[in-house]
A and B are shown apart, each in its own frame.
Chain A
Amino acid sequence: MRLFQSIIPASVLMALLTACGGGESNVESGNRDGFLHYGNGAEPQGLDPHVVTGVPENHIIRALFEGLAVKNPITLEPEPGVAERWDISEDGTVYTFYINPEAKWSNGESMTASDYVWSWNRALHPDTGSLYAYMLYPIVNSESYSKREITDFDQVGVKALDDLTLQVTLNAPTPYFLQLMDHYSSFAVHPETLLKYGKMTDRFTPWTRVGNIVSNGAFTLDEWSLNRRIIIKKSEHYWDRDNVALNGVYFYPTENVVSEERMFRAEQLHYTQVVPLDKIPEYRKQGNTTYIQAAYLGTYYYLVNTDRPPVDNVLVRRALSYALDRDTLTRTVLQETAIPAYSITPPDTLGYNPPKLFDYDPAKARELLADAGYPNGEGWPGLEIIYNTQEAHRKIAVAVQQMWKKELNIDVTISNQEWKVYLNSVSQRDFQVARRGWIGDYVDANNFLDLFITDGGNNNTGYASDEFDDIILNFAPKAKTRDERYGLFYKAETMMMNEMPIIPIYTYTSKHLVHPSVEGIYPNLMDSLNLKYVKLHPGRSLHGEAN
């Protein structure tokens, strides 16, 4: 008897004793050894730049590889990467890249222009099935090659003039072309390494594994434990290695945002991918610089199926848009982590500002609804909003539902769908109103406006206008000046927003927690982080600031 009575407290005590001595935190050891501990949001699908898509993949691939030109972390303007300089022809269609003779693969071999020819052949080849092949479509004949209309890659506008000179010919002047050189779909891969493990177009070979991979960026792959962590280390062969401060980075697949925030608080992470919405007020209150929020190149909106009543009527669509109080929505539901949006292109997209054709105006909204045949909501046939299952989307849908009820006296139902079911509903156009978000691949209004080309794969609204298509596909690419081009975009966007095939809601922001010891993470529109510029300062601690 007494034996049992003593065993329980003893075992509890033992468990607690072994528990003690948590030791040095990741941040402390990382600061000492020059390793950044980075919350990366998810396990990457893979590390092959021509196969994968996604944000977590992007972070790691851009540390392992480098493009011809990279983005300045503050201004986002292109600056030398693998190419030490480039010329652009007068008409803006021929780019000549001069590869830095010091640019090396991680095995010490020099990079050549023909590596790019080979890699872009791979990226565009239909058998590779690269989801981002279209990023290279500005290049002459690349689209027909990738659609198998031509099979000879020599006809595509990419030539190696010599070992260090790469000439690229475009269909039309493409002001954002240099930006695409910093997108992983345009990165070079090491031909011999790929061919060692399979064919050029193979998707499944183990060439990206530790020990196999040859890359050309500031870091090399050191460890890849599935769903646990990826460790990269500073490369010995990188051309600008003297300016790389970090010795390496640990990437953690922090799927659970609440766990991620807790890891940050316990100094297991230097940097979090996101911040749980309900923790943001608390971090703001602390008044320190741990919480960093910046405008992000993305728009959150509701897609409207313009073929389904009652939203087939443009007056109804406008009424719905006028009745939304976006200021209140972003202030309350979204805790001031979003910016009200009135069009598809985010404000100040490289100097371009979209038209604002309407505002919150309940009286005008009621008037429009009455004109559409539903005075004070009478005779309203009902409307359904679908969204993919996620608490944040639900909160917004509920707020929108209430606003429409209050201002227009109409009943709206909201319904959540599991992610793939939702994607299926949207692509089959089986919805009336559907939640949607678009994050820009490059900073240019074109990336948002070409969504609404007639029958475009991402249009899904039924919006179709020959004039709009003409401006986006034919006139804007040939514009001589930036002002002329932006003027055309403004005209097209005004046309589109008058028809209201989407109801814009807000512009995204990026939100991170950054440990005080980290320097060189600059908030920017692309949420683009170049780890090469990051420095760690030992001795700066979180304690006393966030507990």
Chain B
Amino acid sequence: MLRFIFWRLLQAIPVIFVVITATFFLVRSAPGGPFDSEKAVLPEVKRALEAQYKLDLPLHEQYIAYLGDLSNGNLGPSFKYPGRSVNEILGSGLPVTAELGLYALSFALLIGVLAGVFAALRPNTRQDYIPMGMAMIGICMPSFLLGPLLLLIFGIYLDWLPIAGWGDLPGDKILPSITLGSAYAAYIARLSRAGMLEILSQDYIRTARAKGLPEWRVVIQHALRGGLIPVIAFLGPAFAGLLAGSFVVETIFQIPGLGRFYVQAAFNRDYTMILGTTVFLSTLIVFFNLISDVIAAWLNPRLRAQFKGGA
């Protein structure tokens, strides 16, 4: 098992390195620079700015300097926000995005697993079609539609919940978490339904039922563990996706998370910020994938046996 983890970590290094290099050269090849603005910038001012950000060096020297800084954990100064380092901006946005992601994922798990299991118990009946139909709608409904819709109902008409903000007013975390989580809830519902259906048709479930166990014990004690393996495997990438993909929800609800900075950085040609967030998020994605692989392996007796025996 340790060897498996070690190997996966080793594989991650070239992946991240390629991401850094590709991003570094791609952002610099995009037309327009960080200091272009609607009002013409005087040449002497532009020179002074480029010197302050080392943009006057040849490209390969900039690249080497960046790698040097990166190895010290320094992601450089932001171009768009003078006086702020990329580390600082990431540090301020990440906890918020992570909190939002965590709530969204909890919501997704709660609703998704319940709906999926519920549907799997009576496949191809109304009890299956209704939650699965809703799940399909959930997957199809983009957050930029669901968010405003929820806001209109709960924020404006019913006036129960705040319209925007994060931790400013009581209850302002509820709607963004639901908006972000619902697509994942829908996906998890479908995954857990499929997983449960497969498990529920297994012999050991039939044995459990034959022994006269009540249905809820069959489901909770025997079926869930196996049935949810696909869901567990999905959690790692899902959480990474929630962190990297919260931009829309953060914009709709005015949440001070990472997503807004990430997308704005690309529009602003904020080179260090684009690189910093990309490197950071790609590392995170690799890491979460690894974790979910490990958990899935640990949960699945067949895979576990493989590790013990062979690799």
Contacts and interface: CB of A to CB of B under 8 A. Distances in A.
A255 to B, nearest CB: 6
Contact of A420 (B33, B92, B118): B33
Contacts of A53: 37, 39
Interface string B78-93: 0011111000010011
B170 A23 contact: yes
A127 B117 CA distance: 65
Interface stretch (B4-12, B156-164, B284-292): B156-164
Interface stretch (B43-51, B62-70, B205-213): B43-51
A265 B156 contact: yes
B17 interface: no
Given A46-B84, A421-B32, A262 B156 contact: yes
Nearest to B91: A226
A538 interface: no
Interface in B82-135: 82-84, 89, 92-93, 110-111, 114-115, 117-118, 121
B261 A227 contact: yes
B299 interface: no
A51 interface: yes
B56 interface: no
Nearest to A256: B251
B254 A126 contact: no
Nearest to A388: B38
Interface in B134-152: 148, 151
Interface size class of B (residues with CB under 8 A): 35 or more
A258 B144 CA distance: 11
A126 B254 CA distance: 37
Given A19-B161, A254-B254, A266-B155, A131 B37 contact: yes
Contacts of A147: 44
Contacts of A496: none
Interface in A501-518: none
A18 B175 CA distance: 12
A100 interface: no
B83 A208 contact: yes
A52 interface: yes
Given A256-B254, A262-B163, A204 B45 contact: no
Scoring B38, B49, B169, B215 by chain A CB atoms within 10 A of each residue's CB, the highest score goes to B38
Interface in A30-79: 43, 45-46, 48, 51-53
A131 B154 contact: no
Interface string A410-430: 000000001111011101000
Contacts of B2: none
Given A420-B269, A458-B40, A203 B83 contact: yes
Nearest to A26: B169
B131 to A, nearest CB: 9
A120 B117 CA distance: 70
Interface stretch (A1-9, A90-98, A379-387, A521-529): A1-9
B26 interface: no
Contacts of B216: 1, 3-4
Interface in B185-232: 215-216
A547 interface: yes
Contacts of A7: 114
Contacts of A133: 42, 45
B49 to A, nearest CB: 5
Contacts of B260: 227, 255
B165 interface: yes
Contacts of B48: 126-129
B41 interface: yes
27 contacts: A1-B216, A8-B115, A18-B174, A19-B171, A22-B160, A22-B162, A23-B169, A26-B169, A45-B82, A51-B83, A53-B37, A53-B39, A126-B44, A129-B48, A204-B52, A204-B77, A205-B83, A227-B93, A228-B165, A228-B166, A253-B254, A253-B256, A262-B156, A423-B32, A424-B36, A457-B42, A458-B40
Given A131-B41, A229-B168, 9 more contacts: A4-B117, A134-B42, A146-B44, A227-B93, A227-B257, A258-B148, A259-B164, A262-B156, A263-B163
3 tightest CB-CB pairs across the interface, nearest first? A420-B32, A457-B40, A129-B48
